[in-house]
Structure 1
Amino acid sequence: MSIKKEISSPVPGVFYRRPSPEEDLYCNEGDTVKAGDTIGLVEVMKNFYEIKAEDDGVVETFNVKTDELVDAGQAVAILTLK
């Protein structure tokens, strides 16, 4: 049985899956990530906060889309632990 863990936004704001519009996505669904890897950003009043994986695993799904508003503590992705 696999263990699933939510990756949550630390602050309310606008969620982004890439560092800038010209750059590649941090990761995609199905990608393997390590603890500490950035999976997205949240922007609050022109300040950007990285959302990082807290464990090693595979990104199962993103719960929000780029440019979507998120609340503090809202799950933005689901990680299947390795």
Structure 2
Amino acid sequence: MSRIEIKSPLPGTFYRRPAPDKPDFKKEGEDVEPSDTIGLVEVMKTFIEVHAGVTGRGIVFLVDDAEAVMAGQVIAEVGE
């Protein structure tokens, strides 16, 4: 099974949940649809939603919650 990469649209800090007391947008292993939010990238106190952009199975995150990311960095992968 080939994997599809989901990349960060911009540099910042990647968050897997909408707030510290809320559950993750997506848990490891869940399927995704293009419009699904998988996380947020925070840049200068502005939070940008990161959408899967693809239909895929079994999301695997390659960065940790609250980890700094660069624009174009692969943050997750899904199976086709």
TM-score where L is the length of structure 1: 0.91
Q: Which runs of 5+ in 2 are unaligned?
A: none
Task: Quote the residue 1:73 is aligned against.
Answer: 72
Deviations 1:49-68 (CA, angstroms, capped at 9, x unpaired): 11111111123411100111
Cα contact 1:6–1:75 (8 A) shared by 2: yes
Distance (Å, rounded) in 2 between the aligned partners of 1:52 and 1:43: 14
Do the aligned residues in 2 keep the contact of 1:28 with 1:59 (CA within 8 Å)? no
Offset at residue 9 of structure 1 (A) = 0.5
SS of the residue corresponding to residue 54 of structure 1 reads coil
For 1:31, the equivalent position in structure 2 comes to 30
Q: Distance in 2 between matches of 1:59 and 1:73?
A: 21
Contact 1:16 1:41 in 2 (8 A): yes
- What's the Cα RMSD here? 1.0
What percent of counterpart residues are identical? 46
The size of the alignment, in residue pairs, is: 80
After TM superposition, what 4+ stretches of structure 1 lie above 3 angstroms from structure 2? Answer: none
Query: Matches of 1:59 and 1:44 in 2, distance apart?
Result: 28
CA distance in 2, matches of 1:46, 1:68: 15
Helix, strand or coil at the partner of 2:28: coil
